[in-house]
Amino acid sequence: MTLTREDAMRILGLAPDEWDALQRANHLPEPDRHTEGQPEWRPETIEAYRTRPVEQWPLSRVAEWLGYTGPSARSVARRQLGRWSVPQLGRRPGRGGETLYASDQVQAIRAIQPGSGRREAPREGGKFTRA
C-alpha cells in the first residue's frame, strides 16, 4: 500500500499551501516511488516524519528568532509565518496560550526565503553600480 500526496497531506494535517512550502524547503520526505509520474510514499515514511522529534516553539520564540522586537513582534511574526505558509502545531493551554510551531519547519522555510538588498552586486563608493 502506498500513499498519494493527498493522503500524506491528510495524515500530516497539512493544507496544500503548507505542503508546497515544506516541499520547496526540501523538508518533506522524498517519495518512495513514482507511479505514472505521481509521487507515492509508504505509510512508514510519512509516519516517521509525523513522529520525528521536534522542538515546539511558541510564537514569541519564533518572533525572537526572526529578529522581531517590540510590542508588535508577535503580531508581525504571525503575519510573516502566514505568508510563508508555516503550519501550526497547536496552542499552549490556557487563556494566554501561544500558537506553537515546529522549529525545524520554521528554520527550513526561512532558509529558502529571499534576502533583502542586492547580494554581491558591484559597488562603487558604497553605492550600487550597473554591472
Q: What is the pLDDT of residues 25-53, one digit of tens each?
A: 999 999 999 999 999 999 999 999 999 99
Report pTM: 0.79
The cell 496552542 sits on which residue?
91
Report whether pLDDT(84) > 70: yes
- 8 A C-beta contact, residue 104 and residue 65: no
Contacts of residue 91, defined as CB under 8 A and 6 or more positions apart, other chains included, come to 97, 98, 99, 100
- pLDDT of res. 113: 83
Element (H, E) at 49: helix 43-50
Report whether pLDDT(124) > 90: no
Count of C-beta atoms within a 10 Å radius of residue 33: 10
